[in-house]
Chain A
Amino acid sequence: MSVIQQGVSIVQRALRAVGSHDGWLAGLLLMAGWLALPSLGIAAEGTTAGPTEYRDIPYVGSRNLVWIVAQLHLLLAGFVLGVPMFAWLCEVIAWRGGEKRYDKLAKEFTKLLTSAYSTTALFGGILLFLLVAFYPKLMNYLTDVFFPSFLLYCFLFLLETATLYLYWYGWDAMQDGRKKTLHVFLGFLLNFFALFIMIIPNAWATFQSSPVVIADGTAFERAWAATWNPTWWPINIHRLIANVVLGGYICGAYAGVRYLSVKSPEEREHYDWMGYVGNFIGVFGLLALPFAGYWLMREIYQYNQQMGITLMGGFLSWLFILQAMLIGVLFLGSNYYFWLGITYRIPGSEGKYRRAMLMMLVSLLLCLAVWMTPHSLVASIEEAQKMGGAHHPLLGVLGVMSAKMTVSNLMILITFMSFVMYWRAGKQDTAGWAKLAKAVMGAVLVLASIAVIVLGVWGYFVPAIVRINYFSTSQVLIVIFVILTITPLTALLLKSAKTTTEMVWGSMPPRAGYSLVLNAIMVILLMTLMGYARSSSRVHWHVYGVMRDTSPYAYSPALGSASFIMAFCTFSFCLIVAFIFWVATMGDKYKAAPGPGKGELPHGIPAMAGGAPEERSQR
């Protein structure tokens, strides 16, 4: 407007200057000035508005759309990075141990990768378009910082895609001798590239939370400084383990669904076994996940007190109670599956282990009760008056990290012992030193549990830094020590053990299948919950402390509305994964169907993702 006013005053001055001359000249000038006014207005719009910072879409809102697409992309990425690890591990077990069923399992899951990979890339592309369209200023800034890593990322994508094609389409062709070695190496390369494909975008995301900005230096130096930010490696490790957990539990859920639907005994056996393997891998990752999460939170707290408090003590702290609930259900579900396995797969074991299972269940529930007890309780005004505030005078002590760390370590120990119990069930020790070994294992377990509890209680009476740096770390080391001591001892014992009851696969009840599905849903919900927590911890910043969010969405959504989006993302992801499984196994069902079918079609089954190798092998 000021430019328009300036223009008007110029015209007025001109009018005054020519006021003494002929009227036609004045009229001409007046007309020229009037005609010039719109052009001044247009110029003013151009100069004051500047480049577009944000765009929006009606009804859904740009933030919600980006949130959903980003979350789905992340979940799919977790899936396509977790499954190759899982598949490669199974292939290596089959390669070294000679058990062909592991190779079949690995192949069955690799089959999913081609369609899953393209779906992930598709969501990645949609996310990129949405980010560029909705947040041009932010994307421009991030491109300035990370341009060299964008190029590297693209290059890695090419390598990963080529390796995946070779790995999958070469499966049958590379089955024997040196070719198999090459195939296993390709599987390693696939995971190697996948690791870097994960950690490069992690740098972009963690930079937004804990930026390291240097003004000087080359583009590469600035990108490297921004990449190596304080939360980069904690996130890398946390996500790497979480991907293993996701891959394992989704494998379990797939097996669970198939187990519930198949009819033939052979298929029931196969999917029962697959469910066991999936649950085992999920639990294997789950045991390490709380340690990685604790390290991440510690780094966040140390990086910025404000962000740490927002997450752990501020308005996001309720998310961690929800998190405890979900992790608790996951631990319970995984143990329940182990216990069902003992009861149903190893006939006659129930009576022997029922008491132990009860003790473990009660211990898990007690631990979970502690983990889920908030520091500040949800209470009515009357209840708060009776308690003398929001903290319960007796149970309030359970609401802080010392208690939470203690019970999470104990739950890990219990779950590990559940697995050991399952491992030992149906076998009788024959080694002469078995009694001594069992006494040592029992003593290690009891002493470790006592030590974890003592450190947890002691943690209340020492400065926070002593608790965080020494006590919590010691608790973790104690648990790792137990796992590393008991696992080889049990393996040695079982080497010479006599099998008294053979494992009967395919005899699990339907609820075992449902528990596998429940576990997978818990993991997905957990990832959506923590995705919200990580993103919301930046509060009103795009890049924490560097670039402020000035859009109308610069507020943290309430937990209720956030839960809606989380549930929507979980549901959508389950649908997408179900679609991928359906597409990938379409060919199998067709081939398995008796009677005429394939032969009637001139070109066999359509070339669905994953169908090619079998197709080729049958020709």
Chain B
Amino acid sequence: MGALGKPIILMVAMYAFLKFGLPNIPGSAPLPSSLIFLYLLLTAGGIFMFKTLSGESKDAFWDPIRRFLTGENIGGLQALRYGVFILFPLLVGWQTYGSTAVSDLPPTESRTIHPAPPGEYTGLSNPVPKTPENIMQGKGFYAAYCSPCHGGNFDGKGPAARGFIPAPANFADPTTIAMLQESYLFWRIKKGGVGLPIEGAPWKSAMPRWEVELPDEWIWKIILGEYDGAHQSPRTWE
């Protein structure tokens, strides 16, 4: 089992790192099983490729597996072999049952965070000039209407944020509003969660529909304030 030892240790170590090591790094969180599976698959693929690069390494890698499966010269491992033959189908059966049985848990979701906006909102440019006054005013509106959820530091950690799943967007994260054009934010603020299109299913957004309370001009000013406060720039093409 010599040549198999390293791959097994590597797989176990990788799993332990993904499951227990990475989540405990400051600022991190547990990884979903889909991602762990993906990374383990890559690791296994890499091991397979490396071990089959030459005839010798391939034989050294496969021979113990073949001998174990055929029971050829494995001595005291016979009991383990029979155990594997019994347990493996059971494991597959359990996995199949687990993935198909009726459950009271909500299904795993692949939510579309940024669905496409309706046509009438594409290509709009901010009609409010980017002046210090307008930015200040926008930040004021933001403080009044948005910061309870999105946070005074624009980091999605407002006092009400803990009540929401998923959490409110973190604008300071360079992968959120910095990726979007101003017109996109205008649509999302104006229409809120209820304005999400079909592709935005399962519509998990508690964002209010601000058009019923705020005039358009205020929304555009809030957008100016958001970008400035989060130290981000909107996506543009000039």
Please report A residues at the B interface, Cβ cutoff 8 Å.
Answer: 302, 304-307, 309-310, 313-315, 317-318, 332, 336, 339-340, 343-344, 350, 354, 357-358, 361-362, 365, 368-369, 372-373, 375-397, 399-400, 460-465, 509, 511, 539, 545, 556
Contact = CB atoms under 8 A, between A and B. Distances in A.
Contact of B108 (A309, A350, A380): A380
B71 interface: no
Contact of A400 (B38, B54, B179): B179
A394 B45 contact: no
Given A305-B184, A361-B46, A385-B165, A391 B175 contact: yes
B28 interface: yes
Contacts of A313: 112-116, 179
A378 B112 CA distance: 10
B238 A465 contact: yes
B104 to A, nearest CB: 11
B119 A365 contact: no
Interface string B6-32: 000000000000000010010111111
Nearest to A304: B122
A545 B119 contact: yes
The SS class assigned to the A binding surface is helix
A396 B173 contact: yes
B33 interface: yes
Contact of A378 (B32, B49, B179, B181): B32
Contacts of B53: 336, 339-340, 343, 350, 354, 357
Given A361-B46, A464-B179, A511-B52, A376 B29 contact: no
20 contacts: A314-B114, A317-B112, A336-B49, A344-B55, A365-B45, A376-B111, A378-B108, A381-B106, A381-B165, A383-B33, A384-B165, A386-B29, A392-B31, A392-B32, A397-B174, A463-B233, A463-B234, A464-B236, A465-B238, A556-B199
B32 to A, nearest CB: 4
Contacts of A302: 237
Given A309-B117, A377-B32, A314 B199 contact: yes
Contact of B116 (A306, A344, A397): A306
Nearest to A365: B46
B147 interface: no
A368 B42 contact: yes
Contacts of B22: 394
B175 A399 contact: yes
Interface string B221-238: 000000000000111111
- B: contact size bracket: 35 or more
B53 to A, nearest CB: 6
A55 to B, nearest CB: 27
B96 interface: no
A378 B117 contact: no
B30 A509 contact: no
B54 A350 contact: yes
B39 interface: yes
Nearest to A459: B174
Contacts of A383: 30, 32-33
A394 B54 contact: no
Contacts of B109: 378-379, 381, 384
Interface string B87-131: 000000000000000000110111111111111001100000000
A332 B113 contact: no
B99 to A, nearest CB: 12
Contact of A380 (B105, B118, B119, B175): B105
Contacts of B199: 310, 314-315, 556
B110 A307 contact: no
B42 A365 contact: yes
Interface in B157-201: 165-167, 173-175, 178-179, 181, 183-184, 199
B181 A305 contact: yes
A376 B110 contact: yes
A388 B174 contact: no
Contacts of A315: 112, 115, 199
Contacts of B86: none
Nearest to A339: B53
Contacts of A354: 53-54
A369 B108 contact: no
Given A306-B119, A509-B58, A545-B119, 12 more contacts: A309-B184, A344-B55, A365-B45, A368-B42, A369-B39, A376-B113, A378-B108, A378-B109, A379-B32, A389-B167, A394-B29, A463-B235
B73 interface: no
A397 B175 contact: yes
A385 B164 CA distance: 10
Query: What 7 A-B pairs come out closest when comparing CB atoms?
Result: A463-B233, A313-B114, A379-B32, A389-B166, A464-B235, A315-B199, A310-B116
Given A309-B117, A314-B115, A393-B27, A463 B236 contact: yes
A464 B29 contact: no
A94 B109 CA distance: 56
A381 B114 contact: no
B35 A373 contact: yes
Contacts of A556: 199
Contacts of B137: none
